[in-house]
Chain A
Amino acid sequence: MNRRLVKCLHNVSIAIAVILFFPHAADAHLVTTGLGPVYDGIGHLVLSVDDLIPVMALALLAGQRGPKSGRWTLFILPIAWLIGGLFGMQAKHETEFPFQCISFIIIGILVATNLPLPAPIIAIVAIVLGIAHGYANGTAIQDAGKAAGLLEFIGIMVSLFVIVTLLAALVISLRWDWTKIVVRVAGSWVFAIGLLLLGWALKSSQVIQK
């Protein structure tokens, strides 16, 4: 009886191994989580550095300017992103110029210089960033022909809310001077990345012209 059970387990384990090792085609470029459009949206923001870094920089900026700016950004940015996305989904073509580099440059320099901007200015920056990046996401979703675009944007909004909450709160809570300097150094890095990206974009356009 015991030997038969061991043999049976042996055969079952072979069958499981065969099933587990059986390879499927890797459709890596689709970047879907397999868990539905909401999770696709969450995954998109977390995995797309061209959207993620400006959002993180904006959260740092809002945190530098205090709780009021942080609270405003928390709600304004996701809504602006959704509005931009809805417009983008109606558009016919995806934007070609990587305008993300402009977001990197502007927000990066604001964080690096730590200018004492009032909360309404930060809110305007959040609105512009949200609409521009949301629009780009909307056109991309439209081009990909995905039906569940709105649900994907809900996922993106959830990610935005969480990222801005965590980072802005972290920066607001900083007390030591050197930690505030680290935030400014991060801003200078974002600015530098944006400037290099702009150079890449101009260089590519020259290559196309040639």
Chain B
Amino acid sequence: MIDANRLLKRNLTALLAVALVLCWAQSARAHVETGKAAGFANGFKHPWSGWDHILAMIAVGIWGAQLGAPAVWLLPVVFPMVMAFGGFLGLIRIHLPGVEYGIALSAVLLGAMVLGEVRSRRKGFIFFAAALVGAFGLFHGHAHGSEMEEGQSAMLYSIGFVIATGTLHACGIAIGLVHRWPVGRVALRAAGALILVGGLYFVWDAYKGGDEAPQPQTAVSLMQNL
């Protein structure tokens, strides 16, 4: 049986010494590197910050999985590239009209594609799918780019942001893997219906709230600023 009082008495000197030393803290001169971890975390959480973004990106993955190769890898390659271009436009404050509508419509149309399991054997269909996904990626990227906060580590914010987007696509593709089973196909189409309904809600929300865009700036005035 352990006697707690006796144990405390025995080690009191040691405990006091450790407590004294721990209170003796010196300043940490780490100010130059502040915001690094926060930059990555903020970038990573940004694509997860709104259901309109989440639904559309997961729908891209699910539709890719329904279509199979080469769409399953082409769409997740196209989306981040075009989305980054949209983010670039948003960051340098080049106005894109109807961004909120574009984002909401992306959920509607991509949900409809998943619901209808839209596919075609025509050669041009894959380019149509890539163009559709890319066009919506532009709107999503623009919204993210305009909302990025100042004072972040640009590098780590961007890395977190892109990794999170890729993770959302991967989630969609992983969900889409159930497509191989008949029950899974039905479940995916039901998920498409849910995404479509969500998209319709976001269209209504955008209509109610108005399309709040950043101050427009032309490319010419941008170059003059530089």
146-182 of chain B: CB within 8 A of chain A = 148, 150, 154-159, 161-163, 165-166
Query: Is the beta-carbon distance between B32 and A50 smaller than 8 angstroms?
Result: no
Chain B 71-90 near chain A by CB (<8 Å), digits 1 or 0: 00100111011011101111
Query: Is the beta-carbon distance between A199 and B33 smaller than 8 angstroms?
Result: no
CB nearest to A180 among chain B residues? B73
CB nearest to A13 among chain B residues? B14
Q: Kindly identify which residue among B17, B28, B88, B93 contacts A28, using a CB–CB cutoff of 8 Å.
A: B28
1-25 of chain A: CB within 8 A of chain B = 10, 13-14, 17-18, 21-25
Question: Which of A121-129, A146-154, A188-196 contacts the other chain?
Answer: A188-196
Query: Is the beta-carbon distance between A199 and B145 smaller than 8 angstroms?
Result: yes
* Distance in Å: Cβ of B142 to nearest Cβ of chain A: 11
Query: Assuming A27-B29, A49-B155, A198-B88, is B17 touching A192 (CB within 8 A)?
Result: no
Query: Is the beta-carbon distance between A14 and B13 smaller than 8 angstroms?
Result: yes
Question: Which of A65-73, A76-84, A200-208 contacts the other chain?
Answer: A200-208
CB neighbours (8 Å) of B28 from chain A are 25-26, 28
Q: Is B31 at the interface (CB under 8 A from chain A)?
A: yes
Q: Is A185 at the interface (CB under 8 A from chain B)?
A: yes
Query: Is the beta-carbon distance between B26 and A17 smaller than 8 angstroms?
Result: no
Query: Is the beta-carbon distance between A193 and B159 smaller than 8 angstroms?
Result: yes
Query: Is the beta-carbon distance between A185 and B73 smaller than 8 angstroms?
Result: yes
Q: Please count the residue pairs between chain A and chain B whose beta carbons lie under 8 angstroms apart in the complex.
A: 138
Query: Is the beta-carbon distance between B155 and A29 smaller than 8 angstroms?
Result: no
Query: Is the beta-carbon distance between A195 and B73 smaller than 8 angstroms?
Result: no
Q: Is A174 at the interface (CB under 8 A from chain B)?
A: no
In the assembled complex, the Cα of A112 lies from the Cα of B78 at a distance in Å of: 9
Q: Kindly identify which residue among A31, A194, A198, A207 contacts B150, using a CB–CB cutoff of 8 Å.
A: A207
Query: Is the beta-carbon distance between B14 and A17 smaller than 8 angstroms?
Result: yes
Q: Is A184 at the interface (CB under 8 A from chain B)?
A: yes
Q: Is B92 at the interface (CB under 8 A from chain A)?
A: yes
CB neighbours (8 Å) of A178 from chain B are 73
Q: Is A181 at the interface (CB under 8 A from chain B)?
A: yes
CB nearest to B88 among chain A residues? A199
CB neighbours (8 Å) of A188 from chain B are 76-78, 80-81
Q: Is B8 at the interface (CB under 8 A from chain A)?
A: no
The list of the 9 closest CB pairs from A to B, nearest first, reads: A199-B91, A192-B84, A28-B30, A29-B32, A200-B154, A26-B28, A199-B88, A196-B158, A195-B84
Instruction: List 9 interface pairs A-B (beta carbons < 8 Å), by A numbering.
Output: A22-B24, A25-B29, A181-B73, A196-B91, A196-B157, A199-B92, A200-B91, A206-B92, A206-B222
Additional A-B contacts beyond A31-B33, A188-B81 (8; CB < 8 A): A17-B21, A23-B26, A25-B26, A28-B28, A29-B32, A112-B77, A199-B88, A200-B91
Q: Which residues of A contact B (CB under 8 A)?
A: 10, 13-14, 17-18, 21-29, 31, 49-50, 53, 98, 100, 109, 112, 177-178, 181, 184-185, 188-189, 191-207, 209
